[in-house]
Amino acid sequence: MNQTLGLIQALSKKIELQSFEFKPVSFIKALLFWLLKMFPATNTLPSPDLIIGAGHSVHLSMLAARRARGGKAIVLMKPSLPLIWFDLCIIPEHDGVDEKGNVLLTRGALNRIVPSRDKQQDFGIMLIGGPSPHYDWDDASLVERIKAVVEKETGIHWILTTSRRTPASLGERLNKLSYSNIKIVPWQETDADWLPAQLSKAAYVWITEDSVSMIYEAITSGANCGLLDMLRKSDGRLAKGVDKLVTDGFITPFKAWQEKGELVHNNKQLNEAVRCAEWINENIIRV
């Protein structure tokens, strides 16, 4: 949802538009609707110029809706169906697809974060994920790294928030921290607008390496970013994508921060939603 909203938000700054949401149907229903050249869920909606979607469950519904109502189908990920079936595929470069024809590659998934240079230099946030298939998780090691940042950066007020994947055991350890410059905000106490609001203000952001989407959101916000790197189970495409962010100066690994005493300054202005919106405006809408 964040991917779709991010692109629509960026497009709205380029062109006048109206957006409508329709729910996908099952694969079998979508196939039937495609064959019959109909898609009842869109019957009351205006004919579309663009049909945008993310998530494997929406792919065939998008194609059925396009066949029934017209428009261009833009998928925001590597689709489960052939790439050529879509008018445009916006795919993170770590998915290993070549950029050619109807494929536009991005650094990470699109998001709805808006870059901000109006940062509070005494405010930072920490974004904590949880166990994943790609990384080993160690509560004790992570807490020690969090403590090291909080103890060194005493002039910064930190807000730490968890995610649905964060183990309860880590929450228990975090609640025992007694520093005056950090506040723990469990994910249950946040809503969809909470993180964008915090990222717009935070001058510094630390993110656990497993939280790939939040890494790109933090970088897009314009904050100086630190990586709470973790033990990898393999050097897959996601890990290589993170390594490229480090190499290109978008984010500072924890050990490098310890050695240098500061985070790399984020002046790269990464905003993939806007870049994709500009491309769509020039190559699809104006064609």
**Are residue 61 and residue 21 in the same domain, yes or no?**
yes
Which range marks the domain in which residue 90 is found? 2-112+275-285
Q: Average of pLDDT values for 226-245?
A: 88
| Polymer length of the chain | 287
Report percent pLDDT > 70 for the chain.
Answer: 99
User: How many domains in the chain?
Assistant: 2
Structure confidence by residue, pLDDT tens digits, 27-53: 999 999 999 999 999 999 999 999 999
For 33-77, give the DSSP string: HHHHT--GGGTTSPPPSEEEE-SGGGHHHHHHHHHHH--EEEESS
Q: Report percent pLDDT > 90 for the chain.
A: 80
* Lowest pLDDT segment from 7-11, 63-67, 132-136, 219-223: 132-136
Determine, yes or no, domain membership for 64.
yes
Distance CA 63, CA 74 (A): 10
- Same domain, residue pair 108 and 127: no
Check whether 286 has a pLDDT greater than 80. Answer: no
Q: Is 91 helix (H, G, I), strand (E, B) or coil?
A: strand
What is the mean predicted confidence (pLDDT) over 158-166?
95
Main-chain dihedrals φ then ψ at residue 169, nearest 5 degrees: -65, -35
The answer to whether residue 269 sits within a structural domain is no
Q: What CATH number does the domain containing 181 carry? A: 3.40.50.2000
Q: What's the average model confidence in pLDDT over 164-178?
A: 92
Res. 250: pLDDT tops 70: yes
With a cut of 70, say whether residue 287 has pLDDT above it.
no
Query: Does residue 205 form part of some domain?
Result: yes
For residue 130, being part of any structural domain is answered with yes
Within this chain, do residues 101 and 181 fall inside the same structural domain, yes or no?
no
Tell me, what's the pLDDT at 194?
Answer: 96
CB 238 within 8 A of CB 257: no
Q: Which tens digit of pLDDT belongs to each residue from 189-212? A: 999 999 999 999 999 999 999 999
